[in-house]
Amino acid sequence: MADDATRPRRALIVEDEMLVSMLLEDLLSDLSFDPVGPFARLDEALAAARTETFDFAVLDVNLNGKETYGVADILLERKIPFVFATGYGKSGLPPTYHDCDVLSKPFRRDDLARIVDRIARPAAR
């Protein structure tokens, strides 16, 4: 098993729209992440957040009518950086999550790259 210095960075994708999840997979791969998922069902996303190994996550706020804040809570507890992907912007989040980063839909590669660079930059070794 690879140690942290040689292990590829991994990114959890929680998204229910197939085209958006495919775009995220491509963009994250371009940013040197191995995608984990995508997970389109809340129960699967919760299980992955608890058990999978990853360095960063992109969470669609709404999966088929179910909010993903439980996934966010797990990531906060595990101290794993993440960004909410939503068309409603930061104002659409409950007050508890107003300090969290938001990737506004529709987004571009540069939008995601800026967030990744700011919150998921690998630690200096």
For residue range 35-47, what is the model confidence (pLDDT) as tens digits? 999 999 999 999 9
Distance CA 40, CA 123 (A): 30
Band (pLDDT 50/70/90 cuts) for residue 1 is very low
Count the Cβ atoms, other than its own, within 10 Å of residue 80. Answer: 17
Stated as kind and residue range, the H or E segment containing 33 is strand 33-39
Q: Which domains does the chain have, with CATH numbers?
A: 10-90+102-118 (3.40.50.2300)
If one compares 106 and 5, the residue with the highest pLDDT of the two is 106
Chain-centroid distance of CA 17 in Å reads 14
| pTM score | 0.89
Which token pair is 59?
């969470």
In terms of Cβ atoms closer than 10 Å to its own Cβ (0-12, 13-18, 19+), residue 8 is exposed
Which tokens hold the place of 11?
């990114």
